[in-house]
Structure 1
Amino acid sequence: MPLSRRATLVGLSAVTLPVATLPFPALAQRGLRRRGGQAVAPAHTWTFGSDPLQAYDVYADRGAGPILMFIHGGGWSRGERSMVSELPAYAQRHGLTLASTSYRLAPAVTARESALDVAAAVADLKRRLPGRPVWLLGHSAGAHLAALVGIDPDYLGAVGLKPSDLAGVILLDGAGYDATAPRGDGRINQWLGRTYHQAFGDQAAALSPTLRVRAGVAYPPFLIFHVARRQDSAVQSRALAEALTRAGGRARVVAAPDDSHMTINRGFGAVGDAEGEHAARFISERAS
């Protein structure tokens, strides 16, 4: 029996489509994105480890101002740093420098090693472009990793930094903020369980950002978007924000009324996109 539209959306909460299904796959494989009919290539690609996935791209460095580091989704097991969609043009319009990082993927590693890679990319970026605020922007599994790095001091601590060294964290319809939360018995939930098990193993609690929030830690501000019609995402987003607020942090939750799990990412930052403009104001408010 075919799955309902809602069930399909729920199933997408932990995964983005493989690169081969995205527009312009050949461009994606070469690290290029299409904008307004033109291919956009990164200005720099820098590595922070020996694995080919331990690398990040920087697009059109402005030489000053905030840096927005994007963390792609893909269920912790697929995706690549070239999946930047509208972000290069968005960064240019708003005076930001865009970076986009890869990270090692499951099943070769767990989400812990993926998060350590994100932290290492942040440290390398801050070393190469010092003195500039760095914001994390993650979608889906990338939102989980951005939240984990922004909350659990172990990750940035491993590279000599702390969560408050981030200017802020922006999350797009994340998954697994609390990977221990109950799930139903339907096919999609069973699939999610297998995806979580592959990424988290027996460390679901230790790798759940909501459960890692602690009083006494100085956290960066969080802006948490979720697709309005996804109840699971709304519940997890609010619970994460409430945990941060109780611990003395700052978090804002925003429902995206017109988006799906995929379009909130692909359209983020397009001209007139409400979520992108909200995020730009959020960054600007904290830069002033």
Structure 2
Amino acid sequence: MGKSVLVLLLLASTAWAADTQVTRNIPYAGNDSRRQQLDIYAPKDAKNLPVVVWLHGGGWRRGDKLLVQSKPQAFTSQGYVFVSINYRFVPQHEMNDLATDVATAIKWVHANIAQHGGSPETIFVGGHSAGAHLSALVCSDESYLKAQGLSLDNIAGCFPVDTATYDATKLIKFLDRANSSRTELYTNAFGDTAESQTKYSPITHIKQGTKYPPFLLLHVAARPDATLMSNAFAKAVNDAGGEAEAFAAKGKDHGSINKDLGTPGDEPTKAVFKFLKRHIVKTEQD
């Protein structure tokens, strides 16, 4: 991403910052790499508020934590601390590194967010596209959080936004048969082998006997692959004794479901806030 684009994004994101405390470029992995930094947006005088950790999209190979559109303002105005993170990219790094970055950022949030007005006991995770996949992976394969001294119990809920990669193995097989130009995008991210594709598919890790965070799986109603995968993942979680709901967003495409999230009157936004509110109450009761 060029410097001029970053400057414009910064200017746009500070236009509404009068009632919001914005802290940028916090290293979460013990180094100064921009790919392992996060930004925090918190209501002024925030104290013990629920937290949303957001993962940008970009095909696992591009994107930036500044690409948040209306989300910070929407969430802070509703009483949330909003955290937008960067993570490393393929093909320079493997998917394992990307998921490790997400878990490491969550660990940092859990340990430090109280200093920014957030509650470490109420952390939600969401993301769009590649970020949706990574949020679902880290919230289903507990090994990433365990490596950071955390567990799935530390996640109050997960709301991935429009991904078709809950089962990357099945998706890549289908694309191969269809001779799709999209195959390379997914094999670059998930690898060429069934073993690695299965390992990084969130649905692989849904099993009886594990307590998963609740899921809200938003997807574009007119997108067959995301619809099929979201419904299959929701069924797997529910069949395993967890809680998951697939929400079909009508009148959206892959870009607008993300761009519009946080805007007034947006139906997916309403669904997200309803989901968050329901599970904040449950967390407080627990």
Q: TM-score range by the shorter chain?
A: 0.7 to 0.9
Give ranges in structure 1 of 5+ residues lacking alignment. Answer: 1-18
CA gap of 1:85–1:157, structure 2 versus 1, over 3 A, is: same
Question: C-alpha displacement at 1:34, in angstroms?
Answer: 2.3
1:48 alignment counterpart? 28
Q: Does 1:197 align with 2:187?
A: yes
Q: Cα RMSD between the aligned structures?
A: 2.1
Q: What amino acid does structure 2 have at the position aligned with 1:152?
A: D
Q: Does 1:91 align with 2:49?
A: no
Question: C-alpha displacement at 1:33, in angstroms?
Answer: 6.0
Q: What amino acid does structure 1 have at the position aligned with 2:158?
A: V
2:50 aligned residue (41, 66, 69): 66
CA gap of 1:286–1:185, structure 2 versus 1, over 3 A, is: closer
Distance between the aligned counterparts of 1:28 and 1:270, measured in 2? 22
Distance between the aligned counterparts of 1:168 and 1:74, measured in 2? 23
CA gap of 1:26–1:132, structure 2 versus 1, over 3 A, is: farther
1:225 alignment counterpart? 218
Q: What amino acid does structure 1 have at the position aligned with 2:242?
A: G
**What does 1:170-249 align with in structure 2 at a 5 Å threshold?**
170-181=159-170, 182-184=173-175, 190-201=180-191, 202=193, 203-249=196-242
> What secondary structure does 1:171 align onto?
strand
CA contact (8 A) 1:43 1:58 kept: yes
Q: Normalising by the residue count of structure 1, what TM-score does the alignment of the two structures yield?
A: 0.86
Distance between the aligned counterparts of 1:200 and 1:185, measured in 2? 14
CA contact (8 A) 1:68 1:134 kept: yes
1:9 alignment counterpart? none
CA contact (8 A) 2:41 2:76 kept: no
CA contact (8 A) 2:153 2:211 kept: yes
1:144 aligned residue (129, 133, 155): 133
Question: Larger relative contact order (C-alpha < 8 A, sep ≥ 6)?
Answer: 1
Deviates more, 1:189-198 or 1:209-218: 189-198
**What does 1:247-258 align with in structure 2 at a 5 Å threshold?**
247-258=240-251
Q: Normalising by the residue count of structure 2, what TM-score does the alignment of the two structures yield?
A: 0.86
1:263 alignment counterpart? 256
Distance between the aligned counterparts of 2:240 and 2:163, measured in 1? 21
CA contact (8 A) 1:73 1:140 kept: yes
* Fraction of identical pairs, as percent: 33
1:109 alignment counterpart? 93
Distance between the aligned counterparts of 1:192 and 1:52, measured in 2? 28
Give ranges in structure 2 of 5+ residues lacking alignment. Answer: 115-119, 282-286
Q: What amino acid does structure 2 have at the position aligned with 1:247?
A: A
> What secondary structure does 1:191 align onto?
coil
CA contact (8 A) 2:25 2:34 kept: no
Tell me the matched-pair count.
Answer: 264
Question: C-alpha displacement at 1:43, in angstroms?
Answer: 2.2
Question: C-alpha displacement at 1:273, in angstroms?
Answer: 1.0
> What secondary structure does 1:210 align onto?
helix
Q: What amino acid does structure 1 have at the position aligned with 2:174?
A: R
Deviates more, 1:50-59 or 1:166-175: 50-59
Question: C-alpha displacement at 1:64, in angstroms?
Answer: 2.1
2:122 aligned residue (128, 133, 141): 133
Question: C-alpha displacement at 1:63, in angstroms?
Answer: 2.8
